[in-house]
Structure 1
Amino acid sequence: MNVKITTIPGDGIGPEIVREAVKVLNKVGEVFGHEFTFEEVLMGGCSIDAYGVPLTDETIEKCKAAQAVLMGSIGGKVGQSKWYELPPEKRPEAGLLKLRKSLGLFCNLRPAHLYPELKKACPLRESIAEQGFDVMMVRELTGGLYFGARKTEIVDGEEVAIDTLEYHDYEIRRIAKKAFEIAMKRGRKLTSVDKANVLDSSRLWRKIFAEVSADYPEVQLENALVDSTAMQLVRNPGQFDVVATENMFGDILSDEMAEIAGSLGMLPSASLREDSFGLYEPSGGSAPDIAGMNIANPLATILSAAMLLRYSLNLTDEADAIENAVSSALAQGFRTGDIMDEDENGLTRLHTDEMGDKIAELIRK
Structure 2
Amino acid sequence: MEFDTKLVKVGQQADTRTGDIVPPIHVATTFEQRSQSDLRYFYGRGENPTREALEECLASLEDAPHALAFSSGQAAGATALSLLSPGQRLISSDDVYGGTYSLFSTLGKYGITVEYTDLTDPDALAATLGDDVGMIWVETPTNPLLKVADITALAALARPRGIPVLVDNTFASPALQQPLALGADISLYSTTKFISGHSDVIGGALVHRSDDYQRAFFAYRTAYGNVPGALDCYLLHRGLKTMSLRVERQNRTAERLVAQLLESPKVGAVHYPGLADHPQHAVAARQMSGFGSVVSFEYLGDPQELLKRTELFAVAVSLGSVHSLIECPALMTHRPVPPETRAALGISDRLMRLAVGIEDAGDLAADLRNAL
Q: Would you call these one fold, judging by a TM-score over 0.5?
A: no
Higher share of residues assigned helix: 1
TM-score, structure 1 as length reference: 0.28
Higher share of residues assigned strand: 1
TM-score, structure 2 as length reference: 0.28
